[in-house]
Structure 1
Amino acid sequence: MSALDLLPWPNADRRKAKRDSDRRTQARDEGGWPTLSFFCELRGPELVRLFQDETLIPLLKKLGATVTIGLVDLSRERAQVARQLSAAGVPVAAWLLLPEESGYWFNAHNATDAWERYGDFIAWTRAHRLRWSRVGIDIEPNIDEVRMVRQRPLAVLRAIPRIFRCIRRNREMYQGLVARIHADGYPVDAYVFPFIHTEREAGTEVLQRITGMIDLHVDREIAMLYTSFVRPYGEGFLDFYARHFPAVAVGVTGGGVEEGLDPPPPLTWDEFTRDLRLTRRHTRDIHVFSLEGCVEQGYLERLVDFDWGVPTHAPPDALERAAALTRQMKFALRALDRPHVASLAATAAVVVPIGLLGLAVRMLRRGDDDGTPDPQQSS
């Protein structure tokens, strides 16, 4: 006898509920049901309040979900929640973050800080006897630079001199950190912008030099494909890039660190489910940003009976826009990968027209001074 047989429902309703339950179980067994993970980036007190909701952990268990906790701090409250989840049988992943004054996210310009933070994380983990299923490195530009560019887009020009910078040593330091995390027994995830794939196809490292993003060898890459930031063409952007990564993060359903401007509205339920189904076409490993946003909007309950089998495709024009952007980006990256050639080309683009203009002026003046009589004077 199943638990459904004990429910005080009419026989027809009970049979329907059992059929739906069997269908979901079959979908999981046949690989139709993806594995879900939810990012959570709340401060300590807010995190504790979130998990005071007694319905939350049972919902996560019903979904078979992992919670990836952003280590905004290494506080007693955060350790308390991590232990609570582990004790309930919910897998917990550690999302490494830096203090904001060190850039918040990991990148080529704070490798030393990243090593120090990991040492603090290990000490905190052992002190509180925490268990982690995986450790994740969030690879993004410095948060202060992101805020500056969002407020004043032309501020991105300040990063142009980095084209000439060598980041090999920084990459080696991060790859060493990955090895250290492995030695401590944890698989390593990297949360990455999808454009890293375009740079690989272009065969350059320009994007990494300018933004500080690092192309690392890890156990799993999770592409951050947040369509809320690229409406109305986000679905094409997601569908185009998701095929190139083993795992994809969708969002944003709400929450997240303040980046300097009002964030776009969170995904509606229709947008969210569209993104889930589009992602499922390419991978079973789906991550959602964020848990707190899904709780606030009541999405977790609706995912329990969610039908993953509805065919979903991005519109052709949205896919073409993503493809065109990729082609343009490759061209730009390959041009900038030879910074001296690019500098000469830029200089030529300015100097040559000026030179031609100067030559034309001189020729006109020579025409005035070559002794040719002025018709008005001769008359």
Structure 2
Amino acid sequence: MHGSIAEGSIHAPALSFFCELDQAALARLFADPIVIEHVRMLNAGICIGLRDLSTERAAVIRHLNEAGVPLTAWLLLPEDQGYWFNINNAPEAAARYAAFRMWTAAHALRWHAVGLDIEFDMRDLQAALANRRYLARVLLRNLFNTQRRRRAIAAYCALAEQIRADGYRTESYTLPFVLDERQVGSSLLSRLLGLADVPVDCDIPMLYSSFLRPYGTGVVWSYGRNARAIAIGSTGGGVSVGGADRIAPLSWEELARDLRLARRQCDAIAIFSLEGCVREGYLERLRSFNWDAPVEIPARAVIRIECIRALLRSILWISARAPQFALATGTIATVLWMKNRHR
């Protein structure tokens, strides 16, 4: 976990870019033909955040279809419905997919996959940022609303099956700690935050080192281990919540480092975001990128993240077995009390 990884014979991974723009900005981005040319020369796909289902957006999608760019439909909701999918808006998510199917058929659009972004409820997040007292209320509501969570998980599983039945590959964009929960059989954090862990064809953990400086590289290396695909970033862009848009995007040196670290871990890499890469001039540099170049393993950052993850998994493991611990503790206490009583 120290030193550097030397040059070898590493080939380019399967690349894709997230693009989360409103309709007008999306049209401006792809009005420049060089953007599509760069993406095509990289053999990359684009994951389009469907912030609306407009005729204008469909025209951009058709243009990308005609250019032969593989596209993923990243399903999103209006902000007043929570934006990302969660246990509070499963019916709205199903309705959104139904509307997406009709919109896709009406405009003869082609998709390679459909992505489910199951994160916090934006309404709760914005309210908690405005009033910290609201956060405790949300966490407790989510933790004890087991019926809503059970119904939402069933609805999302049915939605994923419907997407597969329609001939699409399913993706999920995952917060990193969900991988720790799965490893120890817990769901504590997911319950607190109102998330639903849904089986899909490909989970893509979001390992954005720009949000986690100075230990972000450790997150990429630690959570990237054994992953089929990972997402790195951010190069800028996305919705503005909690001041995320004020965090400095990855420099070229940071992006190059994360790309090489990610490539040592998996064969598929998503970059957030396409619009950030265009603004910073990274697309052209990626076309001549040397994946074989040595990269320094962030030893101190990895050790720090591994220690945090070990502690987190221990807490989650205990939380998942709290009834057993309570029963064992009660049994031991009863035995000791009876022994002392008969002395």
TM-score normalised to structure 2 length: 0.87
Match of 1:187 among 158, 162, 169: 169
Question: Any idea what SS the aligned residue of 2:116 has?
Answer: strand
Distance 2:223 2:67 in 1: 35
Distance 2:130 2:224 in 1: 29
- 1:84 is matched with 63
Question: Any idea what SS the aligned residue of 2:255 has?
Answer: helix
- 2:277 is matched with 294
Match of 1:304 among 279, 284, 287: 287
- Return closer, same or farther for 1:308/1:105 CA change in 2, 3 Å cut-off: same
| Aligned AA (1:111) | A
Match of 2:211 among 206, 229, 241: 229
In angstroms, what is the RMSD of aligned CA positions? 2.1
- 1:277 is matched with 260
Displacement, 1:185?
Answer: 0.8
| Aligned AA (1:163) | L
Distance 1:170 1:339 in 2: 24
Displacement, 1:86?
Answer: 0.7
- 1:329 is matched with 312
CA contact (8 A) 1:174 1:216 kept: yes
Matches within 5 A, 1:36-115: 36-115=15-94
| Aligned AA (2:151) | R
Which protein has the larger Cα radius of gyration, Structure 1 or Structure 2? 1
Q: Does 1:139 find its partner at 2:118?
A: yes
Displacement, 1:34?
Answer: 0.6
Displacement, 1:285?
Answer: 0.3
CA contact (8 A) 1:41 1:290 kept: yes
- Return closer, same or farther for 1:152/1:326 CA change in 2, 3 Å cut-off: farther
- 1:254 is matched with 236
**Long gaps (5+) in structure 1:** 1-26, 344-379
| Aligned AA (1:235) | T
- 1:16 is matched with none
Displacement, 1:126?
Answer: 0.6
Distance 1:248 1:281 in 2: 11
CA contact (8 A) 1:163 1:336 kept: no
Question: Any idea what SS the aligned residue of 2:33 has?
Answer: coil
Distance 1:245 1:165 in 2: 31
Question: Any idea what SS the aligned residue of 1:113 has?
Answer: helix
| Aligned AA (2:199) | H
- Return closer, same or farther for 1:140/1:342 CA change in 2, 3 Å cut-off: farther
- 1:371 is matched with none
| Aligned AA (1:198) | D
Deviations 1:21-51 (A, max 9, x none): xxxxxx9xx7611111011111001100111
Distance 1:152 1:319 in 2: 34
Distance 1:178 1:161 in 2: 26
| Aligned AA (1:319) | V
Displacement, 1:160?
Answer: 3.0
Counting aligned pairs with the same residue, the percent is: 45
Match of 2:226 among 244, 251, 266: 244
Distance 2:33 2:272 in 1: 21
**Long gaps (5+) in structure 2:** 1-7, 327-343
CA contact (8 A) 2:81 2:123 kept: no
